[in-house]
Chain A
Amino acid sequence: MTKQTLVRALTKFQTLTRSLCTSAATSDAALKNVTKSNFEPVLAELRRVVRESDFVSIDLEMTGLTSAPWRECFEFDRPDIQYLKVKDSAEKFAVVQFGVCPFRWDQLNNSFIAHPHNFYIFPRQEIQGDGLSYEFLCQTSSMEFLAKYKFDFNACIYEGISYLSRSQEEEALRRLDSVYKDELVDPSSNLREVAETELVRMADILYAERMKNKISDWRAGLLRDRNCGSDFQESSVDMNQKFRTTFFKLRPALAVDGLTSRQLRLIKLVTEKHFKDLAYVHVTGEPSGLQPLIVYTDSIEDRDMLMREVKACRRKEEEMKIKAAVGFRHVLDLLSSERKLIVGHNCFLDLAHIYRKFFGPLPLTAEEFVSAVQKYFPYIIDTKVMLNSNDVLLRIMKRGSTSLSKAFHLLCSQPPATLTSSGLPNAPRVKVEVQVDDQRFSNWNSGAKHEAGYDAFMTGSIFAKACCHLGIDFNPDVPTVDLLHDEKLQKYVNHLYLSWVNENIIDLKTGKIAAESLGSTNNKRQNLKILFQNMVLLWGLTSKVRAKEFRDCLLKVYGTGSVTSIYHLDDTAAFVQFSKAEFVSKFLELKDNLERVNDPISILHPLSKLLEAGCVCAADYEIYKEICSSPISELLFTDQVEAIGLKLKTRLELAIEIKRQEEYKINSFHFCEDRKDMDPETNATGTHSSCHFPGDELVDSLFPVEARMSK
């Protein structure tokens, strides 16, 4: 007895503490987790919250970042290549969590109210489509990272909200259109087809015959009933269990249950073949899926009308299914249609994911991409850009790393006491309160770092504080804040890091990419000037033939100072930057020559030793772009080039061939002129074009790209 009461008391105590926890406006509280089970009501609420918000911060968790080590960002990546790498990442990996956190300025409370939402999403296939959009890559290290922060994979896969991108939805509707158009135009076509193919087996013929009798009995019964107006109930009973009479759209119908698909096919066949006034249809039944029905109609016109009606109905259902499959995209549609200010932290990749997953395939260039993004999201601010571009903020960040958690720690979680004691009494302050469901928290900490919802909240808080530091006034006297048109923010709006490694900032409005920061004095990285036209890409390197050896060797050939630097892509590939652009073509020619010619001089050439193995290839910078734009991702760069295949190799060789031919051309023109001088009598017009390289122009015109590449 005592034990029981004790237990009861304990549970009471527990519930008490729990209720205390939730109501207490202090410590860690639940994040608003959203899965498919509570998506609908949350979405309805979110619509309201977003509409009222001043800005919305977002954050994404993905299954990976790079599909191969050489696809990581490097300092020697040209902006177009940086974009290709982002594009590759967004195309291959899945988004598993999407944090959305609307912030609203609350005049009464003199604080921002944040509504963090943590959506679990999963690319579950809800409607038919190409299988490829439902396949995604996982980077092992990213999965480990998520696991380290206790990401709930079960929630994601079991309960994650699925989605369709706009282009997927259009595609599905188009497919639906074509299916139903075909049938409407020519309703008899399937009929004939079926009639041709079926009824071969003896068993089928017998079964069809029996069904024919059964259906005709039923029909006769119906007609009799109608004439006599009685006995209806009885006739419906005398059929066996598998058939029962019902009504469908005010017409008498025979419902067929518990038959195999083959039997149903035969019934359909028989109905269509032998009964002009009966229609075989499938309708969405109550208990499970489709209910097959044989419906009696008054005339052929009535039958066709019924068929059309049923089809329209089915189409509507399919459409509904597609609409339902839109799922999480409703959130993005909402953000887009409300034209709110979107805030992210280093969010170019996030945007690429958003575009790829919820709008359509990514364009080929960064410029096209940003202009497409602007259409959906006209105002975007990146807090990482802000933190690195403003001197005041930089000072707060102590000119160190601007990672999300560090920025949040430095900007947002300083207790008020230290603020006053730090000699910055005038440091502007802005309060952020969190609202989850109907509860408010003034010092909210879900404790879940790297949960997208919490990260989004941190991003938004950083933005609010940063705005304060920029001198944007949040005080009770101001009824609303107009962040979109605040001139202090203008220089940050729509500026994102294309790649943080290179500090290349892209202007979403113009598509212009600039390497300098937005007017701060922060020049901590004095980058070595990288000249892409001076670079040669080497691949096929092994542990025996390393890039270092190449450099030493090249220094011997072209003199000290000819090679300014070496950049490694991975163990098998590297870039060599020459001091002058002409070395690039010289080197490629030399390499080609050494590999072809076998005279003593070339054998003694210092490069020969390195090329001996014959597996080191070289090309100019443009090849790198081509390789990055391939959808293939092999682990090693050299394997990648191989996997892209023959095409590239032949193209390279061809490029060299063409170059060689051009040289010959020049030489032989030279000869011709000599000869002309010697013998003016000769008919020079014929010799000029006919004897020299008739194939030349052909090749040139066939491979314009290659010809260009060789130059």
Chain B
Amino acid sequence: MFYKRLLCTQTSVRHHPHPNQWPIKQVTKSNFSKELEELKTHISSSDFVAVSLQKTGGCSVPWQRILPFDTADTAYLKAKTAAERFQILQFSVCPFSIKDSKLIAHPYNFHLFPRDELKVGLPSYSFSCQSSYLTSMAKQGFDFNECIYNGISYLSRAQETATKVQIGNMSHNSYMVKSSSVHSVADSVFMERIKSRVKSWTNACKTSNKTEDALISSLRKLILGSELHGSRPCLNIDVCSERQIQLALETLKEFVDVVPLRVPVKGGGMQAVRVVLTSSKEDKILFEKELQNKEEEQNKRVRGFREVIDLISASQKPILAHNSLNDFAFIYSKFLTSLPPTMDDFRISLHLIFPHIIDVNHLMKEIGPFEKINNIPAAISYLKNRFFAPVDMEIPNQGEANINNIHGNNVLKICQLFVKLCTILKISSEVSEGDGIQLSPSLQCHANKFTPCSNSSEEPIDKDVGIWTGNNRRVGINNLVFMWGFEGGISANKLKGLLHDSHEVFSQEYDIRMVDKTCAVVVFWNPGFSELFLSTMDSARVISDKLKDLISGGLRVTGYETYKKVCEKSGLRRSNLAQCLDEALEEETEIFLEAKSREEQSLIYWNNDETINLEEL
């Protein structure tokens, strides 16, 4: 115990007063609901919301980083793998506005931990950590105990729907009853029956209040199936489908003094609609309010931190992030639902939830398209050295926030960087709130760009990729060949030396980039050369002795398609690229062989027919 205390003090000493110290509100389980209310008002009064995540890992193998030669699709697949594997420990949110070139920010830093609050095995069974990520968090003085003991938990939207069934709460949905279009005869009969049943029940309830003697009224109630919901009488209507629920709710709209409730059954499915009779209009309002409060309380417990995501989404405010593809893949998979298989699906469904996402890294590329500026501090110092764009920042009303706490100041840097970039690029940061949120046209054209590598304005360019970060020369993915099976740890230059003279394609211009220690990507600048080279390697045609040597030494090649396939198979991507490509190729051959064996089968069937014919003769 004594030792622990000692350690704790060490931790607090470790925070050096930082030159730019900003008060950032630190939010854990204990102050969550209080701060949530505050955040709500800040979001609605601000123009933008900046977000920044601190994760337990990024990519475990070098080639899984998003590389310049990744297309939007493969980049997304890589981001997806990371998002599904790692966990968010800190989520900083900062609603901010720009008023008279002054940045007014309200930074919050939420500590998250996927604790199983509801004892249903959610939100996550397990998650991966990379020790390097944890170590670098430790260097910033992150308090892991605080995070794990008191972090806020959450459920994604999909998980919430799934648990509603498991927890078996009654829900009162007023929002989803829409007059459905066509009713079949059976529907009408069903509705009529409900109507008459509810009518006679309400009548019975009302009259029984007055004169009937107790026995008869209770008998009547028994026969009508009346029960009590709290202090109010209620009636359960059995239904057997979602359709019938809709019909029942629609019918019940005609009754002014009843409130319908959906009663789920533990383990799945809706089994009944409960009709609660209220005594008057006031009583009905009271009851509905009661229900709403109860539901909200329940939701807060279930959704946890996701409330913040829902708030941001509902506000439809433009969101700022750095490396938005990675961050939003995380947000989507942790707080919404499982990630779709392709970039396009992801883009579309994300757009419905967050209509305006602005990536400051993308904006940076407008200024220095070929610079290797991939982190926020580097970007800020880059701008500082080249442009004069001071940002005046004000953080109001953060009374009790601890100045010494630097966690979450990345989100403020994103805000600053954005304001600087707007000034430099002469982008109007005005946001009009007419019919939905409208960005200024100069900003709108930078919204929803996910891959930092794609500079062109049309997003799905896909076919052309870069090779090096500091180089704008682009090439079609068909001109790329992946090569492995050489001595590990070789340099690109040495490999070039090996390949020299081995094949005619290497007499023309080509480049080699090492992807990791085991695999290189070869770029043929002459169109058609890659196909030529691949087909040479595939066939047993006459090849130079040098190439023969290399092949017998284990050299293998493949096109971009195989790489794509490797990226799709998230589970097997835990080793070096050479091994992954090998496995993918092996699978291809297996499929090929299977197809072949199918062919042979058809032959067999044919033979079989023949034998029968022979016998019949």
Contacts and interface: CB of A to CB of B under 8 A. Distances in A.
Pairing of A with B: yes
Interface of A: 30, 33, 63-64, 67-69, 94, 122-125, 130-132, 134-141, 143-144, 146-147, 152-159, 175, 178, 193, 196-197, 543, 631-635, 643-647, 650, 654, 657, 661, 664, 668, 671-672, 674-675, 691-696, 698-699, 702
B575 to A, nearest CB: 7
A137 B128 contact: yes
Interface in B254-274: 267-268
B600 interface: yes
Contact of B61 (A124, A131, A643, A702): A131
Nearest to A123: B131
A147 B149 CA distance: 6
B126 A632 contact: no
A197 B3 contact: no
Contacts of B145: 147, 152-154
B60 interface: yes
B135 A654 contact: no
Contact of A193 (B1, B493, B587, B603): B493
| Most A C-beta atoms less than 10 A away, residue of B267, B591, B601 | B601
Interface of B: 1-4, 7-8, 10-11, 56-57, 59-62, 87, 113-116, 121, 124-132, 134-135, 137-138, 143-145, 147-149, 267-268, 489, 491, 493, 569-572, 574-576, 587, 590-591, 593-594, 597, 600-601, 603-604, 607-608, 610-612, 614-615
B131 A657 contact: no
B62 A153 contact: no
A132 B60 contact: yes
A225 B517 CA distance: 49
| Most A C-beta atoms less than 10 A away, residue of B115, B134, B491 | B134
20 contacts: A33-B4, A63-B129, A68-B125, A94-B129, A131-B60, A136-B128, A138-B87, A140-B124, A141-B116, A152-B145, A154-B7, A154-B138, A157-B134, A157-B137, A158-B138, A631-B571, A647-B590, A654-B594, A657-B597, A699-B597
A140 B121 CA distance: 9
Nearest to B126: A139
A632 B571 contact: yes
B60 A644 contact: no
A124 B126 contact: no
Contacts of A632: 571-572
| Nearest 3 interchain pairs by C-beta | A695-B600, A153-B144, A632-B571
Given A30-B3, A178-B489, A695 B604 contact: yes
Contacts of B268: 543
Contact of B144 (A124, A137, A154, A675): A154
A694 to B, nearest CB: 7
Nearest to A630: B571
B4 A691 contact: no
A674 B615 CA distance: 8
B590 A650 contact: yes
A661 B7 contact: no
B493 A197 contact: yes
Contact of B608 (A64, A154, A668): A668
A691 B609 CA distance: 11
Contacts of A153: 144-145, 147-148
Nearest to A672: B611
A675 B611 CA distance: 9
Contact of B126 (A138, A645, A650, A675): A138
B600 A664 contact: no
A152 B62 contact: no
B206 to A, nearest CB: 41
| Most B C-beta atoms less than 10 A away, residue of A140, A543, A694 | A140
A140 B491 CA distance: 42
A129 B604 CA distance: 53
A341 B129 CA distance: 34
Contacts of A693: 600, 604, 607
Contacts of B600: 693-695, 698-699
Contacts of A125: 131-132, 135
B278 to A, nearest CB: 35
B60 A137 contact: no
A147 B114 CA distance: 13
Contacts, number: 173
B126 A140 contact: yes
B130 A157 contact: no
A259 B268 CA distance: 68
A135 B60 contact: yes
A125 B493 CA distance: 29
Given A650-B594, A693-B604, A122 B131 contact: yes
A661 B604 contact: yes
Nearest to B119: A141
Nearest to A631: B574
A159 B128 contact: no
Given A644-B571, A695-B601, 15 more contacts: A30-B2, A33-B4, A131-B60, A140-B116, A140-B124, A140-B127, A147-B145, A152-B7, A157-B134, A157-B138, A158-B138, A633-B126, A650-B590, A672-B611, A691-B611
Contact of B612 (A63, A68, A671): A671
B130 A135 contact: yes
Contact of A64 (B126, B570, B601): B126
B128 A139 contact: no
Contacts of B572: 632, 645
A385 to B, nearest CB: 29
A46 to B, nearest CB: 17
A676 to B, nearest CB: 11
A135 B3 contact: no
Contact of A154 (B121, B143, B603, B615): B143
Contact of B114 (A140, A178, A635, A650): A140
Contact of A695 (B60, B149, B597): B597
Contacts of B2: 30
Contact of A661 (B3, B491, B601): B601
Contacts of A132: 60-61, 574-575
A56 B427 CA distance: 69
Contacts of A672: 611
B601 A657 contact: yes
B366 to A, nearest CB: 25
Contacts of B493: 193, 196-197
Contacts of B615: 671, 674-675
Contact of A131 (B7, B62, B116, B489): B62
Given A157-B138, A675-B614, A691-B607, A138 B129 contact: yes
A144 to B, nearest CB: 6
Contacts of B144: 153-154, 156-157
B129 A155 contact: no
A30 B60 contact: no
A178 B487 CA distance: 11
B237 to A, nearest CB: 23
B1 A30 contact: yes
Nearest to A178: B489
Nearest to B268: A543
Given A132-B574, A135-B129, A155 B60 contact: no
Nearest to A650: B594
Contacts of A197: 493
A553 B575 CA distance: 44
A635 B1 CA distance: 37
Contacts of B149: 147
